Structure 1
Amino acid sequence: MSQSKNARSAEKNLLTRLAACAAALVLAVSVAACGGTAATSGTDAGPDASQEQQATISVSVTIDATAAEGESTTVDVDLPENATAYDALVATGADVNATDSDYGMYVQGIDGVAAGDHGDMSGWMFEVNGEMAEVGCSEYQLEAGDAVVWTYVTEFTE
C-alpha cells in the first residue's frame, strides 16, 4: 500500500511540475508576443541612445556636366560625420563609375559622362567651397554646410 501511496505522490508531484512548466511557458510566450520589453516613449530611449545614433552633416553637391552638353544639378544630402567628397557624390544617387587608385577613388564617370569622352584632357574634377582639393575625393573629409562641386572639364588647366 505504501508503494501505491508513493506512486500517487510522485504522480501528483509530476503533475504539479508539468502545470508549473506549462504556466511558465504561457508566460514566456505572452511576454515574447508583447515585445518582451517595457514600453518607452519615442523621445527618451535611454542614456545610450545618443551614442547609438550617429551624428550627421548636411552638404550640397553640384554635378556640372554643361561642358559636355549635359546638365547641372544640385542636391542636398545628409551624411554621417567624417564622410568624404566621394561619399557625398554617391549619396546623390548619381550613377558613379570610379576606380581605386594610389590617391584614393578616381571618378571616371558620372551619369554616363566619362573622362576622355571629349578629348584626352577631359574628365571630372571637384572642389569644396570654391577651392580645389589637394587630396583625392575619398580622402577629403567634409564638414556640415560644405558645398561640393563636381565639374566636367574638356581641358585640364591649373
Structure 2
Amino acid sequence: MPVSKRKNNRNLIILVILLLLGLVFFGQTVFLKEDKKTEEKETISRSENTVDELIQEREATGNKITVNFGAGKTFVKDLQAATPYEALKTMASQEGWEIKTKEYKYGLMVEGVGNLINSDKGYWTYKTNGQPGKIASDRYTLKKGETVEWEYVQVD
C-alpha cells in the first residue's frame, strides 16, 4: 500500500476516534446534567411531602375516637391525637383505664384495656376510617378528621 494511502487511512481512523471521544464526552455532560436536575426535583418533592406530613401531624385535631368494649359498653370522644395509640392512651387517661402493651420490632401491640386482656376469648384491634389497621397503632399518623375505632373482638 502506498504511503499516502496509509497516512489517509491513519488520519481517518484518528478522526473517527476523536469524533467518538467527543460524542462520548458531550453525551456524558448532557446526561449528567439531566440526572442532577432529576435528583434536585426528587429532593424538592420529598421535602414538600415531608412538610405536608408534618403540617398534617400538627393539625391532627378533631379526630373521632371510639373504644368498644363489647356488650353495649362503648365510649366516643372527639380529641387531638397524632396516632391511634396516642388517641387510646389519652382516652384511657381521661376515663381511668389501664392500658397494657407489648413492644415488638414493628411497633406496639395493645394487649389490654381496662379489665379486657387479649386471650383465646378475644383481642384488641383498631380501625381508621372503618379500615383495619395495617401497621402498628403507634406508627400510623392520623390526619385531620380521621376516625379511630378500638374494639375488643370476641372469638367464638
TM class, shorter-length: 0.5 to 0.7
Corresponding position of 1:78? 80
Kindly indicate which of the two structures has a greater share of residues assigned to helix.
Answer: 2
Q: 2: CA distance between counterparts of 1:126 and 1:105?
A: 12
Does the residue aligned with 1:57 lie in a helix, a strand or coil? coil
The code of the aligned residue for 1:58 comes to G
1:151 matched to 2:154? The reply is no
Structure 1 residues not aligned, in runs of 5+: 1-53
So what's the TM-score if we normalise by structure 1? Answer: 0.55
Query: How many angstroms does 1:96 deviate by?
Result: 1.4
- Does the CA contact (< 8 Å) of 2:68 and 2:151 recur in 1? yes
Give per-residue Cα distances to partners, 1:15-34, cap 9 Å, x unaligned. Answer: xxxxxxxxxxxxxxxxxxxx
1:91 matched to 2:94? The reply is no
The code of the aligned residue for 1:60 comes to K
Q: 1: CA distance between counterparts of 2:79 and 2:59?
A: 14
Runs ≥4 residues deviating over 6 A: none
Q: 2: CA distance between counterparts of 1:57 and 1:75?
A: 12
Give per-residue Cα distances to partners, 1:7-62, cap 9 Å, x unaligned. Answer: xxxxxxxxxxxxxxxxxxxxxxxxxxxxxxxxxxxxxxxxxxxxxxx655221111
Query: How many angstroms does 1:133 deviate by?
Result: 1.5
Select 1:57's aligned residue among 56, 61, 72: 61
The code of the aligned residue for 1:143 comes to K
Select 1:114's aligned residue among 117, 139, 145: 117
Structure 2 residues not aligned, in runs of 5+: 1-57
The code of the aligned residue for 1:77 comes to L
